[in-house]
Structure formats: structure tokens, C-alpha cells
Chains A and B, each alone.
Chain A
């Protein structure tokens, strides 16, 4: 049990979060709920990337007066740099999507995608 949890807890949890977000994008009818699913997929991908760089017994990648030499064991800093960029881009894309949702509501007065002409499922 402990062996299974140690190997699969972080990876399995992130992949399940991606898949739950994908289910939300595919099956919901309200536009705002579709965008909530997109945001959940973002969070899942970022967690998967950071957990691929973990080293058992490693320390956080900052040189301080206590961890002062570069020959100690550190966690991989490259996925953390990539995820830093990805989180900020995720929020920018989300804001752009929500402004388009506002304009769609002004034209059609509803947020249900089965009633909007052109987005009909």
C-alpha cells in the first residue's frame, strides 16, 4: 500500500485532474463551466510537470547561508522555471476567454450553448 502510494500518488492525481477538466469541457452546457474546466486542466498539467523533477532527499534550489555549497543534492530547477511561465500565461488566456464570453452574452442574452446559433452541439 505504501509502495503503491509512493509511486503513483502525484502522477496519478495530476493525470486524473487533467481528465476531470477534459470531461467538464466536453459535456457541460454553460459557457462559464466550460472555462472552469479549462482552468482545471491548466492546474493539472502544471502539477504533473513539477512532480517530474522531484528528487528524494533533495533541497529547494536556492543557495543560502545554511545550504551554501553547490555540491549538495538539489531538486531539478528547470521544470520549475517552465511552470512559472505557464501559470502566468494561463491566467492571461483565461481573462481573454472571459471577455469574449461577455461579448457573446451581450449579443444573445443567454449563456446556454444549445441556444446560441453557431455553437450548437
Chain B
């Protein structure tokens, strides 16, 4: 089972690095949403159902939506 957890953690770190280094802003917002989703799955494996429900509803749902609404009100530009 620990191999499955390590694979998920490596996936989480890879998508966090992608969120920082990608130039298109919409792609990096979606990568941040993927980090939240994998964190919610990890909370379930750590036997914490309340925290998993909160992180899935707030982190992967509302945070991504708030970022995209801000992106629509300012420019769609790229980093650098």
C-alpha cells in the first residue's frame, strides 16, 4: 500500500512543479486544482473523512472557480 501512496505523492509534486513553471495561466490554475484533488485523496487514506470532504469541496471546487473568474476580469496574458 505504501507504494500506491508514494506514487500519488510523486504525482502531486510533479503537478505542483508544473503549476509554477508553465507559462499559460489557465493551465497552471488547472494544475493547482489537480494538487488539491490528490491531497483530498491522501486525506482519505490518512483516515480523516471530514478533512477530505472539506478539501474536495473547497480546494478543488471553489478555489479554481475564483481563480478563473479573476482571470476573466483581468487579462488573459501569459507569464513573462
Distance in angstroms from B25 CB to nearest chain A CB is 6
Q: Interface SS of chain B: helix, strand, loop or mixed? A: helix
Chain A interface residue count, CB cutoff 8 Å, equals: 47
Contact status A16-B13, CB under 8 Å: yes
Distance in angstroms from B62 CB to nearest chain A CB is 6
Contact status B75-A111, CB under 8 Å: yes
A5-B6, A9-B6 known; A20 vs B13 contact (CB < 8 Å): yes
Contact status B49-A13, CB under 8 Å: no
Give residues in B with beta carbon < 8 Å to A.
2-3, 5-6, 9, 12-13, 16-17, 19-20, 25, 28-29, 32, 35-36, 39, 42-43, 46-51, 54-55, 58-59, 62-63, 66-67, 70-71, 73-75, 77, 79-80
Q: Interface SS of chain A: helix, strand, loop or mixed? A: helix
A30 cross-chain contacts in B, Cβ below 8 A: 25, 77, 79-80
**Which residues of chain A from 1 to 44 have a CB within 8 Å of any chain B CB?**
2, 5-6, 9-10, 13, 16-17, 20-21, 23-24, 28-30, 32-33, 35-37, 39-40, 43
